[in-house]
């Protein structure tokens, strides 16, 4: 929506996600004025990424997944140009913030902060930052090559539950502590010449600030290093991770913190106002929570590269296979999250295999042409080793729950995949004592939330109405909302709900569950449980970890 009379103050948000960098400008009424994006694979082909990342396969080892840091820097040069071309006037920006894929770590080389402080406005950022990183690549959330380091971290505090009590999560391979421990252990030269480690969010923020930006509490919760009650790094975990880590991380700050004003580089090169505030950047999931304006009883489903489920938590809760983060909008409360690697990219692969057009429309029509429950056929697809359970492969089952090689038709395969993806999520929620009755609506976001047929399956499997935001990019919007909210924190401007979250913008009801959905899908959850047990026999055993 474009306002015919733009208000004087505008707010800028960025989202550096797995596959692209997005930017948005909003006004004080939270209306979107300008929006643009840079797609890494196609706009920056020289970095040779596939879906935004580089995967290195070594025989006998889990793949290592990383992203080129300079690609992200170059994407920033480009997005500002694109926003300017589509009409953004940066002199009107009062405050900016951002969000980024979580857990990834950037290693700044000794002396890099000096470069940040003395950027030449006549040159591109990426040319000036070319030698600023001790490692040219950043390990990202898709990496799970750090199992040994995760185990050591848990042992250092007495086990997974003990670690989750301190940090909100058991040790996950993709979380920053295990990633940093691996770098410190096998790439010691890189670690030793690193003066600062940023998360992807605080890295992007540092570029705007012209000095190292602090890590915020919410994204910091995705590191297995932050004590989420005291909001300080846990000395025990710092020590168990790598030597001298505290000084490489800097102190964490509340997510709403204004960290300073925009660096002179952007004032001179892009015409920003020198008083433009830079608000701490955060993770994409916390940012989505801010952008979606969740209320009590809402379950959010983000269908980006990863599928994630998240919810506002009043108190810290132990989520065995999930994570608890400090809430980005209220640092005395929390948010819960379950993350699945096998989301959009698996749907994309099956779409390409099962449709003639390789298009989402045909995928949706084929999905719609099959009945709820799919005649009893089910599929569980894990192209990547899944986070919640260590399982990889393609598992197809017939009406009697027997493994089969292939389905009879493309439409049955499509429904088997989509139903399987969401039945598994419902199963995991129920195992965490979060039954479908405990939430009254689902708010969907991310790329695949444009697909009404997928949303209908979600409504049916969870037996709840599904809403979407008019703007599907909730992490991006959340970044702009947080810029606005931090700016107006003391002026009390902006409308809030009782959680302290901004009021929802344009939530639309897209699908409601069919009346018999519960009868059909509740037994299928149990079938899904049995099938998972046949794939991974330890699931469901009392002693299973």
From ligand XUL, ligand ADP, none, which one binds at residue 451 (CB under 5 to 8 Å depending on kind)?
A: ligand ADP
Concatenating the DSSP letter of every residue in 253-313 gives: B-TT-EEEE--HHHHHHH---TT-EEE--EEHHHHHHHHHT--TTEEEEEESSSEEEEEEE
Burial category of 508 from C-beta neighbours within 10 Å (exposed 0-12, middle 13-18, buried 19 and up): exposed
Q: Is 55 helix (H, G, I), strand (E, B) or coil?
A: strand
* DSSP-assigned beta bridge partners for residue 54: 66
Interatomic CA distance for residues 224 and 125, integer angstroms? 32
CB of 44 to ligand XUL, least distance (A): 19
Binding mask 434-473 for ligand ADP (x = CB under 6 A): ------------xxx-xx--x-------------------
Q: Which is nearer to ligand ADP, 25 or 454 (CB)?
A: 454
- Please, what is the end-to-end C-alpha distance for the chain in angstroms? 49
Q: Which one of ligand ADP, ligand XUL, none is in contact with 141 (Cβ closer than 5 to 8 A by kind)?
A: ligand XUL
User: Which residues does residue 380 pair with via DSSP β-bridges, in sequence order?
Assistant: 395
Residue from 154, 173, 284, 460 that binds ligand XUL (CB under 6 A)? 284
CB 363 to ligand ADP: min, Å: 7
Q: Cβ closer to ligand XUL: 18 or 224? A: 18
Binding status of residue 283 toward ligand ADP by CB under 6 A = no
Is residue 174 involved in binding ligand XUL (CB under 6 A)?
yes
Residue nearest ligand ADP, Cβ-based: 447
Structural contact between residues 404 and 359, judged by C-beta atoms closer than 8 angstroms: no
Report, in Å, the least distance between residue 353 CB and ligand ADP. 14
- For position 285 contacting ligand XUL by CB under 6 A, the verdict is yes
Secondary structure (3-state) at 84: helix
Which CB, 142 or 464, lies closer to ligand XUL? 142
Tokens of residue 477, six digits: 């919007």
Q: Quick check: 411 binds ligand ADP (CB under 6 A)?
A: no
Cβ atoms of 391 and 382 closer than 8 Å: yes
Q: Dmax over Cα atoms in the chain, in whole Å?
A: 68
Closer residue to ligand XUL, CB minimum distance, 10 or 20: 20
Residue 98 binding ligand ADP, by CB under 6 A: no
> In whole angstroms, how close is the CB of 242 to ligand ADP at the nearest point?
28
Question: What number of residues does the chain have?
Answer: 545
- 201 binding ligand XUL? (CB under 6 A): no
Rule CB under 6 A: say whether 306 interacts with ligand XUL. Answer: yes
Q: Hey, which residues between 3 and 22 contact ligand ADP (CB under 6 A)?
A: 17-20
176 binds, among ligand XUL, ligand ADP, none (CB under 5 to 8 A by kind): none
Provide the minimum distance between the beta carbon of 35 and ligand XUL in the complex, in angstroms, as a whole number. Answer: 19
Main-chain phi, psi angles of 129, to 5 degrees = -100, 5
In the chain, DSSP finds a helix count (H) and a strand count (E) of 20, 24
Residue 141 binding ligand XUL, by CB under 6 A? yes
Taking residues 325 to 364 in sequence order and writing x for each that binds ligand ADP by CB under 6 A, - otherwise, the string is: -------------------xx-xx-----------x----
Residue 34 within binding range of ligand XUL, rule CB under 6 A: no
If one counts every other C-beta atom within 10 angstroms of the C-beta of residue 58, the result is 9
The site partner of 19 among ligand ADP, ligand XUL, none (C-beta below 5 to 8 Å per kind) is: ligand ADP
The angle, 0 to 180 degrees and rounded to 10, between the axes of the packed helices 69-85 and 200-209 is: 60
CA quadruple 423, 321, 297, 378: dihedral, nearest 10: 0
Report 77-136 residues binding ligand XUL (CB under 6 A).
101-103
Residue 292 near residue 443, CB atoms below 8 Å:
yes
Closer Cβ to ligand ADP, 345 or 507, answer by number: 345
Q: With contacts defined by CB under 6 A, how many residues of the chain interact with ligand ADP?
A: 17
Contacts (Cβ under 8 Å, ≥6 apart) of 281: 14, 97, 98, 99, 100, 201, 202, 204, 205, 213, 216, 219, 479
**Cα dihedral across residues 278, 279, 280, 286: positive or negative:** negative
Closest listed residue to residue 481, CA positions, set 5, 6, 11, 8: 11
Q: Is 339 in the site for ligand XUL (CB under 6 A)?
A: yes
| Nearer to ligand ADP among residue 206 and residue 421 (C-beta) | 421
Rounded Cα distance, 139 and 69, in Å: 10
Residue 102 contact partner, candidates ligand ADP, ligand XUL, none, CB within 5 to 8 A by sort of partner: ligand XUL
User: Binding of ligand XUL at residue 145 (CB under 6 A)?
Assistant: no
Question: CA 377, CA 51: separation in Å to the nearest integer?
Answer: 30
* 18 near ligand XUL, rule: CB under 6 A: yes
Q: Which residues bind ligand ADP (CB under 6 A)?
A: 17-20, 304-305, 344-345, 347-348, 360, 446-448, 450-451, 454
Binding stretches for ligand XUL (CB under 6 A): 18, 101-103, 141, 174, 222, 283-285, 304-306, 308, 337, 339
């Amino acid at each position: 929506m474009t306002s015919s009379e733009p208000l004087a103050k505008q707010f800028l948000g960025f989202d550096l996600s797995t596959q692209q960098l997005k930017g948005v400008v909003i006004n004080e009424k939270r209306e979107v004025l300008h929006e643009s994006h840079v797609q890494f694979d196609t706009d920056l082909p020289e970095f040779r990424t596939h879906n935004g990342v580089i995967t290195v396969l070594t025989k006998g080892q889990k793949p290592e997944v990383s992203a080129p840091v300079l690609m992200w820097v170059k994407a920033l040069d480009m997005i500002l140009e694109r926003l300017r071309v589509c009409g953004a006037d940066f002199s009107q920006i009062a405050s900016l913030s951002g969000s980024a894929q979580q857990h990834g770590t950037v290693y700044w080389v000794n002396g890099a902060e000096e470069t940040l402080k003395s950027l030449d406005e006549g040159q591109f950022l990426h040319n000036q930052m070319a030698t600023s990183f001790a490692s040219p690549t950043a390990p990202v959330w898709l990496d799970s090559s750090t199992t040994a380091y995760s185990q050591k971290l848990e042992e250092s505090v007495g086990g997974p539950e003990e670690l989750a009590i301190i940090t909100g999560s058991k040790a996950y391979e993709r979380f920053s502590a295990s990633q940093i421990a691996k770098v410190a252990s096998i790439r010691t030269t890189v670690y030793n010449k690193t003066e600062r480690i940023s998360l992807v969010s605080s890295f992007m923020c540092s570029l705007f600030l012209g000095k190292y930006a602090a890590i915020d509490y919410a994204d910091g919760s995705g590191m297995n290093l932050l004590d989420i009650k005291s909001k300080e790094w846990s000395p025990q975990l710092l020590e168990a991770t790598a030597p001298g880590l505290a000084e490489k991380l800097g102190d964490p700050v509340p997510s709403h913190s204004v960290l300073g004003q925009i660096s002179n580089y952007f004032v001179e090169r892009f015409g920003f106002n020198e008083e433009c505030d830079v608000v701490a950047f955060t993770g994409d999931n916390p940012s989505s929570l801010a952008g979606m304006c969740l209320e009590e009883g809402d379950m959010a489903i983000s269908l980006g590269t990863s599928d994630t489920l998240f919810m506002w938590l009043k108190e810290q809760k132990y989520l065995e296979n999930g994570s608890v983060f400090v809430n980005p909008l209220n640092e005395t409360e929390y948010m819960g999250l379950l993350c699945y690697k096998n989301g959009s990219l698996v749907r994309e692969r099956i779409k390409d295999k099962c449709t003639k057009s390789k298009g989402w429309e045909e995928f949706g029509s084929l999905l719609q042409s099959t009945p709820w429950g799919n005649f009893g056929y089910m599929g569980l697809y894990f192209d990547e080793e899944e986070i919640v359970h260590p399982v990889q492969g393609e598992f197809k089952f017939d009406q009697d729950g027997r493994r089969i090689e292939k389905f009879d038709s493309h439409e049955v395969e499509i429904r088997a995949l989509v139903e399987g993806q969401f039945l598994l999520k419902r199963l995991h929620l129920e195992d965490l004592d979060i039954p479908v009755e405990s939430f009254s609506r689902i708010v969907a976001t991310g790329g695949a939330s444009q697909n009404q047929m997928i949303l209908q399956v979600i409504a049916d499997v969870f037996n709840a109405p599904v809403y979407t935001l008019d703007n599907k990019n909730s992490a991006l919007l959340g970044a702009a909302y947080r810029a606005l909210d931090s700016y107006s924190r003391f002026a009390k401007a902006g409308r809030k709900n009782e959680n302290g979250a901004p009021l929802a913008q344009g939530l639309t009801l897209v699908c409601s569950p069919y009346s018999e959905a519960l009868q059909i899908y509740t037994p299928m959850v149990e079938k899904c449980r049995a099938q998972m047990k046949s794939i991974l026999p330890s699931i469901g055993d009392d002693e299973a970890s």
